[in-house]
Structure 1
């Protein structure tokens, strides 16, 4: 994975990135479509290595990713300038499991489904609606900032 070059003074440490990604709830997903960039908000979970996104399969996002699996994800927070924090991840999307997700046991999805259910429902079981499937987003470059360090 490529290392962050600029802004090292305000970059988050790896453990700070992990804590931030486990704490925040909404990310913005950038994909590339035939007509240009597409940006959408999604819930996500971080397993310490990759980002997991539960996405509607009949969406512009899914169509874009099938055509070009490269993209970017932004997670940020803060209101005042000196509160701004964030992580930008550039990488590759891969569909994992059945599309759409049926709920049949899949060991590759056990961890992200447990993390997702706990984060967004407070329970251990996922709800499957026949419209969503899993995207694994593997980082190739991570850039972070925490303006509170200035």
Structure 2
């Protein structure tokens, strides 16, 4: 794509932040031992403005990140070409085992997955639901995307 058109459809940093805040599914790519990509879709929340999700400690993506922290995240939407929007974040996937941070994201993602009202990060939730989320998080870790490069597009801007 020519630089002119590419620049025209690029999201501003504020547009990118808003876009990521308005979405909750991310495609996550890590690198398998043989160099091939491991690609999965995860529900996420923003933790201090960064994509964050919980996953099982023994999951393939965690095994991959512990060996090689390289990770790419893709959030995208749109059906017709002139509606396509997305943000590709390239960088490092940080595996975090700190329980308070894990629970902050677990409350948001767990509520969404259960079809319950989704709290803001750090917002308290119903104690009965909290107990279930705490139990569900016992075998999980938090993965936070630490981007070094962000590429965005919003074809709606092309007119």
Q: Into which bin does the TM-score normalised by the smaller protein fall?
A: 0.7 to 0.9
Please tell me whether the aligned partners of residues 30 and 40 of structure 1 are also in contact (alpha carbons under 8 angstroms): yes
Structure 1 residues 7, 58: CA separation in 2 closer, same or farther (over 3 Å shift)?
same
- Please state which structure has a larger fraction of its residues in helix: 2
Whether the aligned pair in 2 keeps the contact of 1:28 and 1:75 (CA below 8 Å) is: yes
For residues 119 and 132 of structure 1, the distance between their equivalents in structure 2, rounded to whole angstroms, comes to 17
**Alignment match, 2:60:** 60
Counterpart for residue 117 of structure 2: 122
Please say which structure displays the higher CA radius of gyration: 2
The match for 1:143 among 121, 131, 151 is 151
Counterparts in 2 of 1:7-26, with a 5 A limit?
7-26=6-25
Q: How does 1:65-80 map to 2 (within 5 A)?
A: 65-80=65-80
- Are 1:31 and 1:39, in contact at CA under 8 Å, matched by a contact in 2? yes
Q: Extract unaligned runs of 5+ from structure 1.
A: 99-103
Are residues 139 and 37 of structure 1, via their aligned partners in 2, closer, same or farther at CA, if it must alter by over 3 Å?
A: same
Structure 2 length normalisation: TM-score? 0.76
Runs of 4+ with >6 A deviation: none
Tell me how far apart the structure 2 counterparts of residues 78 and 119 of structure 1 sit (CA, whole Å): 22
Aligned length, in residue pairs: 139
Question: How many angstroms apart in 1 are the aligned matches of 2:47 and 2:109?
Answer: 10
CA RMSD of aligned residues (A): 2.4
Deviations 1:5-54 (A, max 9, x none): 98221011112111111111211101011121111110111235321111
Structure 2: state its 5+ residue gaps.
Answer: 119-124
